Structure 1
Amino acid sequence: MREQDLDWVLHHEPQLYPFPWTRGNFEDSLASGYSCWIMAEADAPVAYAVVMQVFDEAHLLNFSVVLAAQGRGLGARLLQFLRDTLRGRGVTQFFLEVRPSNLAARAVYEKAGFASIGRRKGYYPAEDGREDALVMRVAP
């Protein structure tokens, strides 16, 4: 992902999340040197991810497959790419948070080997206040 990709990302972000990331969130991620990826299929972008690595640990901060491309296994392919890349960089633990209510995302993560290791109370904004996050981990 590069700065010039942000208009495309920001077009899709509010379609995918009730509380989407802002341009500033993505710009800060790029400026901080996080691994920011765009996945393309037939030269058309279909997914994106933002990963922060600190030493031998990595944290998936944003993981998104556009609506029109969901249900085709692209999320699983992108996760595998991330895991392979992180393993090659010496990462031994890969973490993420997910809403307990996001059953589709949880299924993708669980199928990829992520296991729930905890809960963050009130982590996500929600229509009626806050929603917890499940913390998940896998060894790349």
Structure 2
Amino acid sequence: MSLHDLGSILSIERSGHAFPWTETVFKDCFKPGYDCWGLWSGGELHGFAILARQYDELHLLNLCIHRSFQGAGLGRRLLRYAVAQAQAASARCMLLEVRASNRAAIALYVNEGFATIGYRKDYYPAGNGREDAQVMSLNLHHSP
């Protein structure tokens, strides 16, 4: 993806989140140290993943599929792509935060091998204040 895709990125983000990232946050993710990947079909952006690289870790900051295409396995496909890219880059692990109430996303991450390593209290904005984040990690080292 590139900054030229920002309009589509914002549309997807707004379709999938009650408290979407701002345009400024997305613009910052196109700077060095980040990976921004899109999932395209028929020339249309259907979803994206944004990761931050820090030493030998990758932090999955945002994975979002447009509401119209959720439930079709696109999130899993994009997550698997991100994991494969992390492994190819010899990353040690991938970290992420997910809303504690987002059962579908948590189930996806667990199914793909992520484990809960902690919680961040009041991490996300919510309708009635703040919501906790579940912190998850995937070990990317495969011992022989």
TM-score w.r.t. length of structure 1: 0.95
Q: How does 1:43-54 map to 2 (within 5 A)?
A: 43-54=43-54
1:58-109, Cα deviation, whole Å (9 max, x unpaired)? 1000100111111111111111110110111110110000011111111111
Which residue is 1:74 aligned to?
A: 74
Does residue 136 in structure 1 map to residue 128 in structure 2?
A: no
Which residue is 1:120 aligned to?
A: 120
Give, in whole Å, the separation in 1 of the partners of 2:12 and 2:46: 10
Give, in whole Å, the separation in 2 of the partners of 1:39 and 1:28: 20
Give, in whole Å, the separation in 1 of the partners of 2:135 and 2:33: 23
Which residue is 2:14 aligned to?
A: 14
Give, in whole Å, the separation in 2 of the partners of 1:106 and 1:51: 18
Contact 2:35 2:51 in 1 (8 A): yes
Cα offset for 1:53?
0.8
Unmatched segments (≥5 aa) in structure 1 = none
Report the identity percentage: 41
Give, in whole Å, the separation in 2 of the partners of 1:63 and 1:35: 12
Give, in whole Å, the separation in 2 of the partners of 1:11 and 1:39: 14
Cα offset for 1:12?
2.0
Give, in whole Å, the separation in 2 of the partners of 1:31 and 1:52: 10
Give the SS at the match of 1:31. coil
Give the SS at the match of 1:21. coil
Cα offset for 1:125?
0.7
Give 4+ residue runs of structure 1 displaced > 4 Å after superposition. Answer: none
Contact 2:33 2:54 in 1 (8 A): no
Unmatched segments (≥5 aa) in structure 2 = none
> How large is the RMSD of aligned CA atoms in angstroms?
1.0
Does residue 62 in structure 1 map to residue 62 in structure 2?
A: yes
Give, in whole Å, the separation in 1 of the partners of 2:126 and 2:32: 27
Give, in whole Å, the separation in 2 of the partners of 1:27 and 1:88: 26
